[in-house]
Amino acid sequence: MYHKSVLLRESIEALAIRPGGIYVDATFGGAGHSAAILSQLGDGKLIGFDQDEAAMANRIDDPRLMLVNGNFRFLRNFLKLHKAIPVDGILADLGISSHQIDQPDRGFSTRFDGNLDMRMDRRKGVTARDIINKYSEEALTALLYKYGEIKNARKLASMITAGRREQPIETTANLRKIVDSCARRGKEFKYEAQVFQALRIEVNEETEALREFIEQATGVLKPGGRLVVISYHSIEDKLVKNWFRSGNFEGTPVKDFYGNLIVPLKMITRKAIVPEKEELEENNRARSARLRVAEKIGE
């Protein structure tokens, strides 16, 4: 299986699908969410996005589906090109797919020895190997602290730069050996995951792309349209929550002359929806998933 869709029932219900509407699956992946959306569409249209070429093999043979091999940060341009604005709903599952994790040569997993790649879109140039071997010690410290929330980021960055002076750090195994030397005993796996997360976010410019996507998604929704986002770590969940609540990524309330909040979206879920026990038993990778839903306010 390419990928088991997370929070499938909850996300489809949150979209409140109209049979004749236009919908976007911004992270097509294994097509699980897309198939569920299509099952509820009548003569509507679904536009799927995925920057990973491998996901294109999961194309569903359905004339209502248009599949775009591109990053969702270019959402507005593609929708404008295909005269698909405004849309009735947008779904984005920000998680990395099981297919990507389980391929050693992609370099996403700490479980396999493979090349330090981590590119979602392998047409891009910069890899995790480039970052590990070329970033300054100061730059490594900053990204490990910011995206991995690693408390001893400076020590780890120093160990990495010392290690690469002896020989280039080429593989995940090479990197893990250095990483484990900085981890607390018994906490190596969690520490490795934090480091790999930080590198993946940097390689794929994930926070920048997410900001651009959310802003554009808000703009292309029609009044009453839904934006549904599933996130997996605190950095991206905070960006989503702040935007849904305040209309900016800082989470700073902006009010009009009368003290009313100026926001483009209305939160449908006050708290994040999380997977139920049954789903976690079937799919352990869903354990950190958080689903948030907002609706475009009428203009």
Q: d(Cα 128, Cα 191) in Å, to the nearest integer? A: 17
Mean pLDDT calculated for residue range 274-288: 91
The pLDDT > 70 percentage for the chain reads: 98
171 and 224 both lie in a single domain: no
Q: Which 3 state secondary structure label does DSSP give 296? A: strand
134 and 183 both lie in a single domain: yes
| Type of residue at 244 | F
CATH classification of the domain holding 16: 3.40.50.150
Residue 65 has pLDDT above 80, yes or no: yes
Tokens of 143: 């990204």
Q: Residue 298: which pLDDT band, with cuts at 50, 70 and 90?
A: confident
Q: d(Cα 105, Cα 87) in Å, to the nearest integer? A: 37
Residue with more model confidence, 179 or 103? 179
- Domain ends where: 188, 203, 218? 203
Do residues 197 and 233 make contact, with C-beta atoms less than 8 angstroms apart?
A: yes
**258 lies in some domain:** yes
pTM: 0.93
Residues 236-272 as b/e (b if ≥16 CB within 10 A, e otherwise) read bbebbbbbbbbbebeeeeeeeeeeeeebbbeebeeeb
**104 lies in some domain:** no
Do residues 273 and 290 make contact, with C-beta atoms less than 8 angstroms apart?
A: yes
Residue 169 has pLDDT above 70, yes or no: yes
211 and 291 both lie in a single domain: yes
Q: d(Cα 117, Cα 125) in Å, to the nearest integer? A: 10
- Domain ends where: 174, 203, 232? 203
Sequence-distant (≥ 6) Cβ neighbours of residue 79 within 8 angstroms: 24, 47, 85, 87, 220
Residue 104 has pLDDT above 80, yes or no: no
Do residues 116 and 107 make contact, with C-beta atoms less than 8 angstroms apart?
A: yes
Do residues 78 and 48 make contact, with C-beta atoms less than 8 angstroms apart?
A: no
**110 lies in some domain:** no
Task: Provide the number of structural domains found in the chain.
Answer: 2
**58 lies in some domain:** yes
Domain containing 148: what range?
125-203
Q: What is the pLDDT of residue 186?
A: 93
| Type of residue at 268 | I
**114 lies in some domain:** no
Residue among 191, 173, 169 nearest 182 (CA) = 191
Q: Which residue has the tokens 């306010």?
A: 297
169 and 221 both lie in a single domain: no
Residue 3 has pLDDT above 70, yes or no: no
Q: What is the pLDDT of residue 125?
A: 81
Q: What is the pLDDT of residue 2?
A: 56
Do residues 69 and 124 make contact, with C-beta atoms less than 8 angstroms apart?
A: no
Q: d(Cα 125, Cα 122) in Å, to the nearest integer? A: 8
- Domain ends where: 171, 203, 235? 203
Residue 97 has pLDDT above 80, yes or no: no
Residue with more model confidence, 113 or 266? 266
17 and 153 both lie in a single domain: no
**89 lies in some domain:** yes
CATH classification of the domain holding 175: 1.10.150.170
Mean pLDDT of the chain: 93
81 and 223 both lie in a single domain: yes
12 and 94 both lie in a single domain: yes
Q: Residue 95: which pLDDT band, with cuts at 50, 70 and 90?
A: confident
91 and 172 both lie in a single domain: no
Q: Residue 21: which pLDDT band, with cuts at 50, 70 and 90?
A: very high
82 and 223 both lie in a single domain: yes
Q: What is the pLDDT of residue 261?
A: 86
